[in-house]
């Protein structure tokens, strides 16, 4: 026997501890960005957000703001339709056909605008309410809604400036990666 007694369970002198066994280290995100071609390195699980990211919350608020602005426009369009209807009652039956057809055209355009405003308002509220538990279809629907809002606002540019800005912001915020991860997260 040798003095001092050796521990039979410890590493022998001259050998590295745990020789031959892989060292377990915690997974840490790569400081170099995502793995090319797949987003994540093979074998790593995708990390999904637990709470709604700030860009998604901002998009939801923007959709509610767009719905509010649409309601203001709806009130103005209904008041305009009332004014045109009142003006059509004061037209004499002997007036020119051009005047009557212009009033009817004005009524038709205002009714089409009212229907369009109602559709976009309902769509904005529906999409915003689905942000907490909706899937990728809500995200795609929000992008399409933003593009539609942007196109229609450019047709009425001086009056639609607020819609133009808000439409661009909806598209920008909902197109971010954090939004994609939020809407593609697994639901239990």
The answer, yes or no, to whether residue 122 has pLDDT greater than 90, is yes
Domain that holds residue 142: 55-183
Residue 42 lies in a domain: no
pLDDT at site 13: 62
pLDDT at site 157: 78
CA 118 to CA 112: how far, in whole Å?
10
pLDDT at site 99: 73
What DSSP character marks residue 35? B
Residues 6+ apart with CB under 8 A from 162: 69, 153
Tally of domains within the chain = 1
Measure the CA angle with vertex 115, ends 109 and 116; round to 5°: 90
The answer, yes or no, to whether residue 25 has pLDDT greater than 60, is no
Neighbours of 106 (CB within 10 A): 17
Neighbours of 110 (CB within 10 A): 19
Considering only CA atoms, which of 89, 62, 73 is closest in space to residue 152? 73
The answer, yes or no, to whether residue 23 has pLDDT greater than 80, is no
Residue 177 lies in a domain: yes
pLDDT at site 52: 83
The answer, yes or no, to whether residue 168 has pLDDT greater than 90, is yes
Residue 98 lies in a domain: yes
The answer, yes or no, to whether residue 40 has pLDDT greater than 90, is no
pLDDT at site 41: 55
pLDDT at site 83: 87
The answer, yes or no, to whether residue 150 has pLDDT greater than 70, is yes
Q: Give Cα 168 to chain centroid, integer Å.
A: 11
First CA to last CA distance, the chain: 63
Burial of 186 (0-12, 13-18, 19+ CB in 10 A): exposed
Longest dimension (CA), the chain: 130
Average pLDDT score over residue span 75-89:
87
Q: Tally the C-alpha atoms within 13 A of residue 108's C-alpha that lie toward its C-beta.
A: 6
The answer, yes or no, to whether residue 75 has pLDDT greater than 90, is yes
Task: Kindly list the distances between the CA atom of residue 118 and the CA atoms of 27, 59, 72, 112, 168, in Å, as whole numbers in the listed order.
Answer: 50, 20, 11, 10, 21
Residue 24 lies in a domain: no
* Average pLDDT score over the chain: 80
Residue 168 lies in a domain: yes
Residue 31 lies in a domain: no
Burial of 6 (0-12, 13-18, 19+ CB in 10 A): exposed
Residue 151: strand, helix, or coil: helix
Q: Peptide bond preceding 56: is omega within 30 degrees of 0, i.e. cis?
A: no
Q: Residue 107's pLDDT band (boundaries 50, 70, 90)?
A: confident
Residue 4 lies in a domain: no
The answer, yes or no, to whether residue 118 has pLDDT greater than 60, is yes
> pLDDT tens digits for 47-63?
666 778 888 999 999 99
Residue 130 lies in a domain: yes
């Amino acid at each position: 026997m040798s003095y001092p007694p050796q521990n039979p369970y410890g590493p022998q002198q001259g050998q590295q501890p745990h020789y031959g066994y892989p060292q377990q280290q915690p997974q840490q995100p790569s400081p170099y960005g995502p793995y090319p071609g797949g987003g994540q390195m093979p074998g790593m699980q995708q990390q999904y957000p637990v709470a709604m990211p700030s860009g998604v919350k901002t998009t939801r608020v923007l959709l509610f703001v767009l719905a509010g602005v649409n309601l203001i426009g709806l009130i103005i369009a209904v008041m305009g339709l009332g004014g045109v209807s009142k003006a059509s009652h004061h037209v004499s039956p002997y007036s020119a056909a051009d005047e009557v057809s212009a009033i009817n055209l004005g009524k038709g355009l205002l009714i089409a605008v009212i229907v369009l405003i109602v559709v976009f308002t309902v769509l904005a509220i529906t999409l915003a309410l689905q942000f907490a538990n909706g899937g990728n279809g809500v995200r795609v629907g929000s992008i399409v809604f933003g593009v539609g809002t942007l196109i229609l606002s450019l047709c009425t540019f001086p009056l639609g400036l607020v819609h133009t800005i808000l439409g661009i912001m909806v598209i920008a915020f909902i197109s971010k990666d954090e939004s994609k991860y939020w809407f593609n997260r697994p639901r239990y």
